[in-house]
């Protein structure tokens, strides 16, 4: 589906140097943020306690947060789960306190603030499990990246594979850099979203590479920048 018709090729390669400089600066900043600030991992990766609490009326998420802050908790998350009456509370590990004691202490505070609070379930995620999830997530990204190189190298040329992996990892690193800079929580859904973005980037790389290969056969009198400009424009 075309929302507007492009009548001539957009000269992307004319400004390639500017685009490359902007991309390089953004990439380096993302690497610096990741190295200095690091990612703010969720409980799934660091370990902690997950509690599902229900109320007899719509839950006051802000009130729950104030109760937890009054108990000295930090880096927790409170969100509605299923209905407006149910909330999911994620609490990080605390030294010298097990999951049972932590959930009991939290429920006592929540019940004191609202007698209608009822604990539906409580789960504990150990640090070992979180470490395994982080390792498996990194392995998934690595395997995906290697798969991209191998696939494009066989279907096109190894040059396309290398350029595609550089472009796709560039996208992933910049996204991770934003998460590090703003200290947004990095959770399993975020990891799944990054893998999805990587998949879409791979698809775009395959389409553009196919267009470039086709143009080299059809546009023999054109220069390489003109061939690339035409390939990118035709995929828009």
Would the pLDDT of 176 be above 90? Answer: yes
| Same domain (yes/no): 30, 147 | yes
Would the pLDDT of 180 be above 90? Answer: yes
Last residue of some domain: 103, 125, 147? 125
| Same domain (yes/no): 99, 141 | no
- Residue 130's pLDDT band, with cuts at 50, 70 and 90, is low
Number of domains in the chain: 2
Last residue of some domain: 83, 99, 125? 125
Does 3 reside within a domain? no
Mean pLDDT is lowest, of 52-56, 61-65, 72-76, 141-145, for: 141-145
The full DSSP string for the chain is --SS---S---TGGGHHHHHHHHHHHHHHHHHHHHHT--EE-HHHH-EEEEEEE-SS---HHHHHHHHHHTT--S-EEEEESEEEEEEEEEE--TT--HHHHHHHHHHHHHHH-TT-EEEEEEEE-HHHHHHHHHHHHHHHHHHHHHHHHHHHHHS-HHHHHHHHHHHHHHHHHHHHHHHHHT-EE-HHHHHHHHHHHHHHHHHHHHHHHHHHHHHHH-TTS-HHHHHHHHHHHT-
| Same domain (yes/no): 116, 216 | no
| Same domain (yes/no): 20, 135 | yes
Does 78 reside within a domain? yes
76 is in which domain, residue-wise? 48-125
| Same domain (yes/no): 68, 147 | no
| Same domain (yes/no): 36, 69 | no
Beta bridge partners, 83, equal: 81
pTM more than 0.85? no
pLDDT at 2: 55
| Same domain (yes/no): 148, 228 | yes
- Residue 128's pLDDT band, with cuts at 50, 70 and 90, is low
Would the pLDDT of 234 be above 80? Answer: yes
């Amino acid at each position: 589906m075309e929302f507007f018709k492009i009548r001539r090729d957009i000269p992307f390669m004319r400004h390639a140097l500017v685009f490359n400089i902007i991309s390089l600066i953004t990439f380096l900043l993302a690497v610096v943020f990741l190295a200095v600030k690091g990612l703010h991992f969720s409980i799934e990766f660091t370990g902690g306690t997950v509690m599902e609490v229900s109320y007899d009326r719509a839950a006051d998420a802000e009130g729950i947060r104030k109760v937890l802050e009054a108990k000295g908790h930090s880096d927790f998350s409170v969100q509605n789960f299923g209905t407006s009456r149910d909330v999911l509370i994620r609490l990080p590990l605390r030294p010298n306190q097990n999951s049972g004691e932590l959930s009991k202490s939290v429920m006592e505070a929540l019940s004191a603030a609202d007698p209608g609070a009822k604990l539906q379930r409580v789960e504990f995620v150990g640090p070992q499990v979180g470490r395994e999830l982080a390792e498996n997530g990194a392995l998934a990204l690595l395997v995906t990246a290697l798969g991209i190189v191998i696939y494009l190298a066989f279907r096109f040329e190894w040059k396309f594979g290398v350029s595609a992996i550089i472009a796709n990892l560039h996208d992933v690193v910049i996204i991770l850099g934003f998460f590090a800079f703003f200290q947004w929580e990095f959770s399993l859904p975020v990891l799944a979203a990054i893998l999805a973005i990587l998949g879409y980037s791979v698809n775009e790389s395959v389409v553009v590479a196919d267009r470039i290969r086709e143009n080299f056969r059809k546009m023999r009198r054109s220069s390489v920048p003109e061939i690339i400009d035409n390939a990118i424009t035709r995929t828009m």
